[in-house]
Structure 1
Amino acid sequence: MKKTYQGKNTIMTFEINKPTKWYQWLVIALFIVGIIYLVVK
């Protein structure tokens, strides 16, 4: 459990240190918009 938390924390830090992966945030934004669309629909 502690190992999993450290793994997630490492991924978070890696993402923060890699601003070149802006497209990942775009995918997340589209995913959230899709969920909101389905809920509102």
Structure 2
Amino acid sequence: MQFKIRFSDKDDVASYDPDKLLRIYENAEGKTPEEKINALM
């Protein structure tokens, strides 16, 4: 797993796709945000 941080709207991070990350998070197992984040680790 790789993490990419975006500091401002002027910065461009290749392959950063917030919509894809949201889909992954929404489809993760768990009912609470904490459970979903833990399921992704």
Please indicate the TM-score interval, normalised by the length of the shorter structure: 0.3 to 0.5
Larger Rg over CA atoms: 1
Higher relative contact order (CA 8 A, sep 6+): 2
TM-score for the superposition, normalised by structure 2? 0.36
- Richer in helix (by share): 1
